[in-house]
Amino acid sequence: MTPTLQVFLIVSAALFSTGLLGALSRRHAIFILIGIEMMLAAANLNFIAFWRFSPQSQPPTGVMIAIFSIAIAAAEAAVGLALVIAVYRHYRTTNVDHLDQLKG
């Protein structure tokens, strides 16, 4: 028996929820970033799974989108980490509980 699309989706959902858990519950900015990256990976997994289980198209759309998504995630990670460093320099902390300058 080979795995169906369903189980892939379940795994992806689990990965996504774990990422969300990380992003929601940690204080450290880097953790939040990791959580977000994890959610993105889960999304990519979905793309690939859907591509694999659906009738083939030319060009392979799902794969393409996953590639672009990874590229964008990389860019996001770079900028996000740079922001963390900049914030750290300024406030001497990366604890997001203390970063509430935008509080209305």
Partner 1 sequence: MSSAAFVLIAMVTLAAALAAATLQKLMHATLSFAVALVGVAAFFFLLGAEFVGLVLVFVYIGAVAVLIVFTILLTRRDVGKDRGANWGGALLAVAVFGGLAWAVFKTQSVAIGAPHIRALTVKRIGEALMTSYVWPLQCVGLLLTAALIGALVLVMEEKR
Partner 2 sequence: MSRWIIDHLWLIPAVPFAASLVILSLPNGRHKSAALLAVAGQIAALVMSFFAFLATLQVSGFRAVQNFTWFTFGDHALRLGWLLDPLAAVMLIMITLVGLCIFVFSIGYMAGDKNFVRFFAYLSFFSGAMLGLVISNSLLLLFICWELVGLASYLLIGFWIERPSAAAAAKKAFITTRIGDLGFFLGLLWLYGRSGNLLFYDGGNGCLESAGLAMLGASAVSVALLIFCGAVGKSGQFPLHVWLPDAMEGPTPVSALIHAATMVAAGVFLVARVYPIFSLGAIDGVTSSLTVVVWIGVITALMAALIAIAQADIKRILAYSTVSQLGLMMVSLGVGGVAAGMMHLLAHGFFKALLFLGAGSVIHGCHGEQDIRKMGGLRRLMPVTFSTYAIGMMALSGVPLFFSGGWTKEEILHVTADWPASRLPYYFLLAGVVLTALYMTRQIIYVFFGDRRAASQHAHESPRVMTMPLIVLASCAILFSVVLTPAWPWLHHYLTDEPAHFEFARLIQPTLFLSLVLVGAGVALGIGMYRKAGAQDRQRPADTDPLEFAQPQLFRFLENKMWIDELYARTVIAFSCLSARLSDWMDRHFWDRLVRGFGAVGRLFGTFATTVDERGINAGVDETTVGTRGLGRLMSAAHSGQIQTYLGVIAIGVLALLLFYAWLA
61-91 and 29-53 are packed helices; what angle lies between their axes, rounded to 10 degrees? 180
Compute the distance between CA of residue 76 and CA of residue 70 in angstroms, rounded to an integer.
Answer: 10
Provide, rounded to whole angstroms, the least separation between the CB of residue 102 and partner 1.
18
The footprint of partner 1 on residues 11-30 (CB under 8 A) is: 11, 13-22, 24-28, 30
Site string for partner 1, 39-58 (x = CB under 8 A): --xx-xx--xx-xxx-xx--
Considering only CA atoms, give the Rg of the chain.
17
Residue 104 binding: pick among partner 1, partner 2, none (C-beta 5-8 Å cut-off by kind):
partner 2
- Tokens standing for residue 8: 């892939």
Separation in Å, CA 11 to CA 14, 18, 43, 102: 5, 11, 11, 36
Angle made by CA atoms 17, 24, 28, in degrees to the nearest 5: 125
For partner 2, which stretch binds (CB under 8 A), given 3-11, 48-56, 63-71, 91-99?
A: 91-99
CB closer to partner 2 out of 27 and 52: 27
96 touches partner 1 by CB under 8 A: no
Quick one: which of 15, 32, 45, 73 contacts partner 2 (CB under 8 A)? 32
